[in-house]
């Protein structure tokens, strides 16, 4: 619940988890943007974005969205403005991103959802609209296709129908393994890629066979297998990332590219497989994080 602070500010807090996509295909033709997005699958991560929104009804019209070492945050700012609407006042949102921005960890979707939820709690608007607002901000801002729908719950998520629920439909399956994530190069330009029809057609071609296989057998092992093959078919990984993926696969781990970023995720099998993966990451000089894939998501601090 919001609480009063000095200078008459009302404060709202929220958390939204990060996410990595292993395989997807765009679905953007629906007339209603709430039904646009993607089908595919990914993992909801234990780390994400924390938001604090401070609202002062002082008669001005000001919105400030800040993040630590995150540069400009146009998608989160758009989410904040959509929630604020035509209310007069000063709205300040501070975001803490626990994973790198622009590297395929769903930080734009998480930032939009955390921002929208925190702002609704601060200004007292309808919280049930937060996910819809965040989805629209992320979609029109070029952050992703379906990232907000993916993080409304935990586990291995399989987007069976595009868009935000109830337009979209997401199946959730427990993922009882940890994943390692590592950044290998500079961020990839998601907005530009997601607005390129030729690139989206390439994504569709790379994903078709794997999505059908995953629909027939929606299991963690099948997700990892199809994600690896999607990485290979799409061929988006820069040379340094491609080299790292190949080296880490030799440990027996399932390794794919986090879409879209110069980052990878790796899921080892057993304690010995984990040891081999850690040793290979060390040899390659790649700092990494080992993350859980929680079955549920806490939405508040």
Is residue 100 included in any domain, yes or no? Answer: yes
> Does 137 lie in the same domain as 197?
no
- The whole domain housing 218 covers 174-291
Q: Which residue is it, tokens 């990914």?
A: 42
**Domain's final residue, options 172, 196, 223:** 172
Is residue 297 included in any domain, yes or no? Answer: no
CATH number of the domain where residue 182 is located = 3.30.70.890
- Residues of the chain above pLDDT 90, percent: 83
> Does 178 lie in the same domain as 165?
no
State the total domains in the chain: 2
Distance CA 45, CA 154 (A): 8
Say whether pLDDT at 256 is over 80.
yes
> Does 164 lie in the same domain as 192?
no
Say whether pLDDT at 7 is over 70.
no
Average confidence (pLDDT) over 32-51: 97
Q: Which residue is it, tokens 């590219």?
A: 257
> Does 262 lie in the same domain as 129?
no
Q: Give the SS3 label for residue 56.
A: strand
**Domain's final residue, options 141, 172, 203:** 172
> Does 187 lie in the same domain as 154?
no
Which range has the worst mean pLDDT, 8-12, 168-172, 287-291?
8-12
> Does 179 lie in the same domain as 166?
no
Which range has the worst mean pLDDT, 65-79, 211-225, 270-284?
65-79
Residue 87: its pLDDT value, please?
Answer: 94
- Residues of the chain above pLDDT 70, percent: 96
Q: Return the higher-pLDDT residue of 11 and 8.
A: 11
**Is the separation of the CB atoms in 262 and 235 below 8 Å?**
no
Q: Give the SS3 label for residue 53.
A: strand
Average confidence (pLDDT) over 68-96: 92
Distance CA 42, CA 23 (A): 7
Say whether pLDDT at 297 is over 60.
yes
> Does 149 lie in the same domain as 31?
yes
Closest to 107 measured CA to CA, from 154, 54, 163, 51: 51
Residue 300: its pLDDT value, please?
Answer: 41
**Is the separation of the CB atoms in 172 and 156 below 8 Å?**
yes
Q: Is 150 exposed, middle or buried (0-12, 13-18, 19+ CB in 10 A)?
A: buried
Q: How confident is the model at residue 2 (pLDDT cuts 50, 70, 90)?
A: very low
> Does 285 lie in the same domain as 207?
yes
**Is the separation of the CB atoms in 208 and 180 below 8 Å?**
no
Distance CA 172, CA 164 (A): 15
> Does 166 lie in the same domain as 89?
yes
């Amino acid at each position: 619940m919001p609480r009063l602070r000095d200078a008459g500010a009302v404060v709202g807090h929220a958390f939204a988890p990060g996410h990595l996509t292993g395989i997807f295909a765009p679905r953007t033709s629906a007339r209603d943007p709430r039904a646009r997005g993607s089908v595919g699958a990914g993992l909801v991560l234990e780390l994400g974005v924390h938001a604090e929104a401070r609202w002062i009804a002082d008669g001005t019209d000001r919105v400030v969205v800040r993040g630590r070492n995150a540069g400009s945050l146009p998608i989160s700012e758009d989410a904040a403005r959509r929630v604020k609407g035509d209310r007069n006042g000063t709205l300040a949102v501070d975001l803490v991103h626990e994973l790198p921005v622009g590297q395929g960890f769903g930080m734009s979707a998480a930032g939009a959802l955390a921002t929208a939820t925190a702002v609704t709690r601060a200004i007292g608007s309808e919280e049930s609209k937060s996910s819809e607002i965040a989805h629209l901000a992320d979609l029109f801002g070029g952050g992703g296709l379906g990232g907000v729908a993916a993080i409304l719950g935990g586990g291995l998520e399989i987007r069976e129908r595009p868009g935000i629920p109830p337009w979209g439909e997401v199946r959730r399956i427990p993922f009882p393994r940890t994943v390692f994530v590592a950044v290998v190069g500079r961020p990839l330009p998601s907005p530009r890629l997601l607005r390129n029809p030729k690139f989206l057609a390439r994504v569709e071609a790379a994903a078709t066979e794997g999505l059908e296989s995953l629909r027939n057998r929606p299991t963690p092992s099948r997700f990892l297998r199809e994600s690896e093959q999607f990485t290979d078919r799409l061929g988006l990984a820069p040379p340094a990332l491609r080299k790292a993926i190949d080296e880490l696969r030799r440990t027996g781990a399932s390794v794919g590219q986090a879409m879209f970023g110069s980052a990878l995720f790796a899921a080892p099998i057993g304690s010995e497989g984990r040891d081999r993966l850690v040793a290979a990451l060390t040899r390659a000089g790649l700092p990494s994080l080992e993350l859980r894939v929680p079955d549920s998501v806490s939405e508040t601090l």
